[in-house]
Amino acid sequence: MLKLTLLTLSSVAALVFGDVLKVSAAVLNSSFESGNFQSWSTAGQVTVEDANFGVTPQDGTYQAVLETLQDTTEVGGSDLENFLGLTVGSLTDLGVTEGSAIKQTVTLKAGDIISFSWNFLTDQDPSENNYNDLGFFVLNGFTLLADTTEVTNLSLFTRLSRETGYKTASITVQAAGIYLLGFGVVDVDKTDSGDTAVNSALLIDNISVTSVPEPLTLLGVATAALLGTVFKRNLS
């Protein structure tokens, strides 16, 4: 009985130690596999699409699609700032005229790593600097993902002519707390003419949060594994 208990301890500890770095915190409906925006709040023109949309999702069957024009969003830059908890001017000072966004509140620990897949698409001509549409994410603050100057690939997608292609972004959380996680895409017009005539989109998929265990947790698991191995040898 003692030998079985110690062997079990060793096996369980080894399994936990091997997998402990892969523990995922809760971002609900993180790959949009509900087929809708369950657990997310939305603003503007947003849909959940499968591969029939023309772009293949990165995880599972579905992906989030945020657009600026395909239908009229009627959500201005200041509205998006308020929706995403951004400081006044974060978007409007960039010349944002309209856009779409999604958000979710998440509880994170220091050292957690957030990763997600994203693809920025546009019909905007990259040479037109005054109309530099962009895609971004929010983690209690604005971070640019891409704009029209970074769209170099010709998309096979007939609805939009250019794309970055799917890329992966990762962010390490510096302090524990409750965070607003958001994603957005916006039309930009630096001429102040209010132009909203060209569509851009941001695709989001495969969001995950990996928790790094505290040092004492790792030490305890490692010690348990070591003791199990030692006792196993002594009882053999």
Instruction: At 176, list the tokens.
Output: 């524990």
Residue carrying the six token digits 């053999």: 236
pLDDT score, position 118? 99
Q: Which helix (H) or strand (E) holds 11?
A: helix 2-19
The tens-digit pLDDT sequence of the chain (236 residues) is 434 344 444 444 444 444 444 444 479 999 999 999 999 999 999 999 999 999 999 999 999 999 998 666 679 999 999 999 999 999 999 999 999 999 999 999 999 999 999 999 999 988 888 999 999 999 989 999 999 999 988 877 778 999 999 999 999 999 999 999 999 999 999 887 766 778 999 999 999 999 977 665 544 544 444 445 444 455 45
Q: Which amino acid is at 188?
A: V
Domains of the chain, each with CATH number or no CATH: 21-212 (2.60.120.260)
Residues with Cβ < 8 Å from 56, sequence gap 6 or more? none
Spatial CB neighbours of 131, under 8 Å, sequence gap ≥ 6: 124, 125, 148, 187, 188, 189, 190, 195, 198
Strand runs labelled E in 8-139: 41-43, 45-49, 63-67, 96-108, 113-122, 134-139
The predicted pLDDT at position 192 comes to 78
Whole-number pLDDT of residue 119 = 98
Helix (H, G, I), strand (E, B) or coil at 62: coil
